Structure 1
Amino acid sequence: MLDQWRRRRAAHRVTTGDGRRLKAFRWWQLLSRSLFHLPLRQADGRTTLCSVDVRHWGRKEDGEVTADLYLDGVRHARSTMPAVLPVPGGRVEVATSSFGLRRCHHVPDDGAERQLVPDPRSAEGRRARLDREHPALSRWIGAVSVALLVVGLGLNLLQALEPLSQIPPVNDVTGTFTSPVLLPLWLNVTLGVGAALGSVERALRLRYSWLDDAGN
């Protein structure tokens, strides 16, 4: 029931597209744009190319981040995030995190959902190509990303517990906690940057989890 309520609410955010043509992805948009595609088979047997274009820096007029849906290269609909965009035979669900996309999936009326395929020129597409061509290196990079997040989360928690334990109501219950780890500022900043880079790398693969927000 909660999912149905969310979908109905998201449907109210959808506006009709203006028929503009989809612009090609450019190399200077690697940090600011995500572009995904998926061919959809319609009931009459025809195939429609579904494309989702997300500009992470938002619209010029209000800074709002939107997902633009294109069918065969023509803008069909637009929605703010999280977006639920209607397509023939189902819908496309798009959601963002602080570091990129967390979801871009086609959900048919019947059948299993599928993630859209990133444009090969986009940052997500380049990361997907690395995974195909160098799977061992890709797994190593993914493991390092998770390690950066876990280390950043663990050390932040240890250092945050000490000042929290000094708050009188908390101190009355738990006593004073002394952190066994006290890092210099430069190292805390370095770990924070590393955790952010780890989340960005995971966002390129749409591997979002609560760990990404907690670790940063």
Structure 2
Amino acid sequence: MFNSLRHRLAVRRVKPGDGRPLKRFRWWQLIGRSLFYLRLPHGDGRQTVYAVDVRQWGNRESGEVEADLYLDGRHHARSKLPAVLPVRGGAVEVRASAFGLKRCHYVTAEGAAYQLVPDPASAEGRRARLDRVHPVLSRWIGSVSAVVLVGALLVLIPQVVQPLTEVPPVAEHIGTFDSPVRLPLWLNITVTVTSVLAAMERALRLRYHWLLDGAAG
């Protein structure tokens, strides 16, 4: 019921587009822009092409992060994130994390979900090409990213919990916690930066876990 309510509220945020043409993806937009496509075929061989364009640093006018929906190359609709953009046969759901998109899927009226295809020139598209051309290397990189996030979680959380339990009201009720991990500042910074890079790599594949990636953010 809660998810259904959120879905309806997201649909209400959708505003009509202004018909402007979709701009090509440029190499200098690798950081900050995500562009995905959805091609829906017709029975007569034609196809409808939707594009979802997200500028992750926010709209120039409002400063809010929005998803722009294009229909056959023309601006069709827009919405603040998280967005639910109605399309033929269903809707496109778009959600973001601190490191990029965590969802950009076409959800049919029957409930089936399909990830949209990234523009080949985008960072997500380049990561997808690596997965196609070098699948073993791609899996290795993905595994390293997950291991890094798990390791960072195990290292950083105890160090964060200890000072919290030293606050007098907390210490009186539950006692204090003595962290078994104590790293120097430079190593904590290194772990944090590495975990952020790992979360960014996972965002290129639209992978997100509330604890692993959320803790990195």
TM-score when normalising by structure 2: 0.94
Secondary structure, counterpart of 1:101 in structure 2: strand
Q: Distance in 2 between matches of 1:42 and 1:71?
A: 15
- CA distance in 2 between counterparts of 1:68 and 1:19 reads 11
Aligned residues: 216
1:39 is matched with 39
What is the Cα deviation at residue 43 of structure 1?
Answer: 7.2
The correspondence of residues 50-129 of structure 1 with structure 2, limited to 5 A, is: 50-110=50-110, 112-129=112-129
Alpha-carbon shift at residue 215 of structure 1 (Å): 3.3
Cα gap change, 1:81 to 1:28, in 2 (>3 Å): same
**Which 10-residue stretch deviates more, 175-184 or 186-195?**
175-184
- Work out whether residues 83 and 93 of structure 1, in 8 Å CA contact, stay in contact via their aligned partners in 2: yes
Structure 1 gap ranges (5+): none
1:17 has 2:33 as partner: no
Cα distance in 2, alignment partners of residues 43 and 90 from structure 1: 17
Amino acid at match of 1:85: L
Is residue 19–residue 76 contact of structure 1 (8 Å, CA) maintained in 2?
yes
* SS of equivalent to 1:139: helix
2:140 maps to what in 1? Answer: 140
List per-residue Cα deviations over 1:41-67 (Å, max 9, x = no partner): 357764101110001111111211110
Aligned-residue CA RMSD (Å): 1.5
The one-letter amino acid of 1:208's match is Y
Deviates most, 110-119 or 191-200: 110-119
Q: Which runs of 5+ in 2 are unaligned?
A: none
Aligned residue identity for 1:47 = Q
Structure 2: distance between partners of 1:128 and 1:82 = 23
Instruction: Answer yes or no: is the 8 Å Cα contact 1:22–1:74 preserved in 2.
Output: yes
Checking the alignment, whether the CA contact within 8 Å between 1:42 and 1:88 is kept in structure 2 is no
**Per the alignment, do residues 45 and 89 of structure 1 end up closer, same or farther by CA in structure 2, a change over 3 Å counting?**
farther
